[in-house]
Each structure stands twice: as structure tokens, then as C-alpha cells.
């Protein structure tokens, strides 16, 4: 069954589901510029002042053993894969398979590779294993594909050390996530990233993923940091595509803007972004590269046509915590072993047909005899709902999405609206918000049950001052 050609949003599961809704801010480039001026900026730092106006996004680095290696590839536009780390069934890092994956991505047209990130299970790898992964990656694709290494940690000093190590092994850039769990202020984020960029002569790509870290790096903060000559890009996993155009206007064309949400990436690029750091590209590299190429060319129709078969993958590769589904999918495709490290565990049996169906729909594997290529919620009855109120501070949106999931339903985020932030340095959660959801049930009865439960939630959670409205089929957008 073919869905209407409205702009789809990523199916966010668990914590990541909120990344699309939680942190929408701004309306204009002028507002961003004025707000960013309130924050301390790297351009005023002595080491930055000397090179203000020059973005040092190409670096050279010595390699382990003393051999000189140029790590000078510029940050690319297009499709960068957030690479899963292959492991054997006993959990050992499989370097031979890693090399095969890298060669496959090079042949399929992937523009860059991001290693040792969340998808790469970096937090479970030893220092020696990380060195092996970096060395093998450099040997296989160095100088042909840009290599970004995930180096962000909860500690500024530890991140500096990891970034220095990445440079030593020939990385072209470091992907540095906002510190997780500790929830630094916006001023704290500016200080953190400035110290890292000052300490290591390696291009830095900021990574904002509030659904996982618990902190949103505001657009104003991003703009302030973009003035540092070695901070060269952003991976935006907020799901808020309205940020792309204003940031492009203020940060300039040489500051790379990457979507971190596969289902939102097409629209993000059409609105001014440069590309995507993609989980889906692990299993469909050529297809994701084609979507990005069409989007960058401004061909919305071609981008949509290329992205259509990938929609189920964008959703179902997050049916459990990343990288559980994508590693199972790669194993299903015969691209790697089934290994994954604790505390993660293999994909649950109940989710396996769903992911397999998404792979079939994208043409990644052949359809099994007697199995339908359409999987998940494709073809299920649906209903558009408008949920309004204090969605965040009272947990209304969390509980609503939990209800849908627990009743074996599915959803797509059609649109959202949040009142402007009224605080300069912190995020104000107590703001009236609206989100339009397309909710799916396995059948009409299940859809009615989900709707009834959502109404009951709104009635019970009085402090959220919420309301639930069933929308006509064409009235998906919430009021401004």
C-alpha cells in the first residue's frame, strides 16, 4: 500500500522518539544571530582570534609507528554512514569483515564513514579495539572517503584525549557529541567544545542528539561555536528540520549541516542541509546516496521517489535500541556475523519479521516465499490526531507514545509547533506545544482502542492541560 506523499518524519522509538519534538526554537536567521550574540563565543578566545575567518577543516597527522599520514580530506556533502562494528558470534571485533564493509561502501557511493559512534558500539570497545578499527579504516578507505571518528564523552579532558588519538590514527574529523547525563548549560557547552577545538588540530563536527543525551544544544549555541575555525559542522539529530535554513543563512556554506535522522534527512537537505549521517546507509548505501544526491540538486520529486522504498527501514531500524536492529539486518543480508555486546542483546524475535519486511521493501534482501514485502504498519488503518498542551514538562508526549507502542500500534509525526523559548541559557520545557500524529492500528478495532486510551490519558493528566482532536484526513498541520 502506498502512502500519501506528505513529508514523513522518523519513527522514533524509546528515548529517541522525543528527539523530533522536544527542542524546536527559531523562526528566522536574524533572531538566531541576535540570540547567539548573548553567549560567549570562540572568536573571542585568543587562539581563535588569530585565525578568525579561516576555517581550518583540513589537517595532517602522524600515524602510529611514526609514518606520516595526511588526514586532509574535506568534510563531504551527501551520505555518510554511521558504521556498525562487525563482531563474531562470540563478541570479538571482526576486522576482516570491517574491511569488506568499507570496500562495499566505497563501491556503493557512500561519501564518508563515521566510525566508533553509537552505532559502532564505541562505549563497549577497549582502547586496543578502537585503535584496530581506526587503523583498518584508514588503510581501506583513507584518502578516498572522509573518515570521522566519534570521540565525545561525558568529560572534556577525556574527549580531548580521544580526539588526539583519532588524529594520530589519521581521522579527517572528529564527531563530538554533547556531554550526556550531566546536562550542561549552554554556556557550559560553549566552553566544552571550545576547549576541545583549541586543544586538537583536527576538524570538529558537533553532534546534537537530545533524545539520548538529555541536553539540547540550541541554535544560538551552535552558531556561536561555528565561529571557531576548527568547528566545521553539525550532526543534527533533533528531528527539527526548521533549523536547517536559518543556520545555513548564518553559519555560511562552508559549515556542514548533517541530519542525524534518516526519515527527516531528505527534507533537511531540501531545506539547506548538506547530507546525512545515516544508520539506514549501513544496509542500503547506494539508495541513501541517491536520495541525498537528488536532495542536494533540489529535485524534491526524485528525492521522494528514491526515499519511498526506504521509509520502512527508517522506522524499523529503530524498533529496538540502535544498533540492535541494524546489526541483525546486516547479519540477515550476510554482511556480518550476529555478534553484539552486552548490555545490548540480539533483536527480539517479535521484531525480526518487521525488520526483514523493511529490508525486502527496500530491495536489500529477496522476498521470502509466502511473505509479504510490505511490513510493519504499511497498509494498516490510520487516523490523524492533534495532541496539544504542556507536552514535555508533564510527560504527556512520552506517555502518549508509550500507549501507542504498548498497544502494538505505530505512528508517524506529521508536524509540530512549539512556542518560542523565553530563556536565554536554558531550555524552557513548560511551553504550550502541538504535535500532529498519524496513528496506525493493526485493525480498525485496535485503532479505536488506541484513540480511546489517548483520550483517557489526556483526561487523567490534568496538569498537562492537554487536548486530543481527531483531524480530517488533510488537516495534519497544527496551528502556528
Residues taking part in catalysis: 207, 235
Q: What is the 3-state secondary structure (H, E, C) of 30-45?
A: HHHHHHHCCCCCHHHC
Mutual angle of helices 262-270 and 285-296, in 10-degree steps: 20
User: Of 228, 240, 222, nearest to 418 (Cα)?
Assistant: 240
Q: How long is the chain?
A: 480
User: Of 144, 5, 94, 84, nearest to 278 (Cα)?
Assistant: 84
The grid cell for 257 is 549541516
Extended beta strands in 322-475, E state: 382-389, 410-418, 433-440, 467-470
Please check whether residue 277 is in contact with residue 255, taking contact to mean a CB–CB distance below 8 angstroms.
Answer: no
CA distance linking residue 407 with residue 403, whole number of Å: 6
Q: Is 314 helix (H, G, I), strand (E, B) or coil?
A: helix
> What is the DSSP secondary structure assignment for residue 282, as one 8-state letter?
G
CA distance linking residue 323 with residue 264, whole number of Å: 19
Please check whether residue 71 is in contact with residue 203, taking contact to mean a CB–CB distance below 8 angstroms.
Answer: no
Distances (CA, A) of 436 to 270, 385, 478: 22, 6, 6
CA distance linking residue 186 with residue 243, whole number of Å: 17
Please check whether residue 395 is in contact with residue 364, taking contact to mean a CB–CB distance below 8 angstroms.
Answer: no
The grid cell for 223 is 552558531
Please check whether residue 138 is in contact with residue 70, taking contact to mean a CB–CB distance below 8 angstroms.
Answer: no
Kindly tell me the number of DSSP H helices and DSSP E strands found in the chain: 17, 14
Distances (CA, A) of 177 to 155, 165, 219, 223, 411: 11, 16, 15, 16, 28
Cα angle 401, 404, 405; round to 5 = 90
Distances (CA, A) of 123 to 147, 197, 237, 435: 19, 22, 19, 34
Please check whether residue 6 is in contact with residue 410, taking contact to mean a CB–CB distance below 8 angstroms.
Answer: no
Please check whether residue 94 is in contact with residue 88, taking contact to mean a CB–CB distance below 8 angstroms.
Answer: yes
The grid cell for 49 is 582570534
Amino acid at each position: 500500500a502506498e502512502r500519501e506523499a506528505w513529508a514523513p518524519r522518523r519513527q522514533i522509538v524509546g528515548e529517541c522518539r522525543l528527539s523530533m519534538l522536544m527542542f524546536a526554537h527559531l523562526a528566522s536567521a536574524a533572531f538566531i544571530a541576535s540570540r547567539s550574540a548573548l553567549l560567549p563565543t570562540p572568536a573571542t578566545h585568543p587562539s581563535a582570534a588569530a585565525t578568525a575567518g579561516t576555517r581550518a577543516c583540513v589537517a595532517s597527522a602522524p600515524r602510529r609507528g611514526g609514518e606520516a599520514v595526511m588526514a586532509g580530506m574535506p568534510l563531504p556533502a551527501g551520505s555518510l554512514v554511521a558504521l556498525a562494528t562487525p563482531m563474531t558470534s562470540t563478541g570479538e571485533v571482526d576486522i576482516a569483515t570491517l574491511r569488506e564493509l568499507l570496500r562495499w561502501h566505497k563501491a556503493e557511493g557512500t561519501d564518508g564513514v563515521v566510525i566508533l559512534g553509537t552505532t559502532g558500539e564505541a562505549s563497549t570497545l577497549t582502547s586496543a579495539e578502537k585503535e584496530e578499527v581506526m587503523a583498518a579504516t584508514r588503510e581501506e578507505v583513507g584518502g578516498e572517503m572522509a573518515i570521522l571518528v566519534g570521540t565525545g564523552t561525558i568529560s572534556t579532558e577525556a574527549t580531548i584525549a580521544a580526539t588526539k588519538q583519532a588524529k594520530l590514527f589519521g581521522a579527517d574529523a572528529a564527531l563530538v557529541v554533547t556531554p550526556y547525563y550531566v546536562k550542561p548549560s549552554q554556556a557550559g557547552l560553549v566552553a566544552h567544545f571550545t576547549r576541545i577545538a583549541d586543544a586538537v588540530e583536527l576538524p570538529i563536527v558537533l553532534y546534537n542528539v537530545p533524545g539520548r543525551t538529555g541536553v539540547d544544544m540550541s541554535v544560538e549555541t551552535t552558531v556561536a561555536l561555528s565561529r571557531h575555525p576548527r568547528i566545521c559542522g553539525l550532526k543534527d539529530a533533533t528531528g527539527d528540520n526548521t533549523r536547517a535554513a536559518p543556520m545555513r543563512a548564518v553559519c555560511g556554506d562552508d559549515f556542514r549541516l548533517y541530519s542525524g535522522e534518516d526519515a527527516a534527512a531528505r527534507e533537511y537537505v531540501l531545506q539547506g542541509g548538506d547530507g546525512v549521517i545515516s544508520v539506514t546507509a549501513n544496509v542500503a548505501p547506494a539508495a541513501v546516496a541517491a536520495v541525498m544526491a537528488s536532495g542536494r540538486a533540489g529535485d524534491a520529486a526524485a528525492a521522494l521517489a528514491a526515499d519511498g522504498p526506504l521509509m520502512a527501514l527508517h522506522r524499523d531500524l529503530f524498533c529496538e535500541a540502535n544498533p540492535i536492529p541494524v546489526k541483525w539486518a546486516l547479519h540477515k543480508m550476510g554482511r556480518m556475523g550476529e555478534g553484539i555486546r552486552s548490555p545490548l542483546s540480539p533483536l527480539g524475535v517479535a521484531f525480526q519479521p518487521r525488520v526483514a519486511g523493511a529490508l525486502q521493501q527496500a530491495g536489500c534482501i529477496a522476498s521470502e516465499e509466502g511473505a509479504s514485502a510490505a511490513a510493519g504498519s504499511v497498509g494498516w488503518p490510520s487516523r490523524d490526531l492533534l495532541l496539544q498542551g504542556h507536552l514535555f514538562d508533564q510527560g504527556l508526549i512520552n506517555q502518549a507514545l508509550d500507549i501507542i507502542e504498548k498497544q502494538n500500534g505505530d505512528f508517524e509525526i506529521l508536524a509540530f509547533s512549539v512556542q518560542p523559548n523565553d530563556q536565554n541559557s536554558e531550555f524552557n520545557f513548560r511551553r504550550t506545544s502541538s504535535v500532529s500524529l498519524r496513528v496506525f492500528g493493526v485493525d480498525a478495532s485496535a485503532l479505536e482502542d488506541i484513540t480511546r486510551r489517548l483520550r483517557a490519558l489526556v483526561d487523567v493528566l490534568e496538569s498537562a492541560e492537554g487536548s486530543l482532536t481527531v483531524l480530517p484526513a488533510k488537516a495534519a498541520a497544527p496551528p502556528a
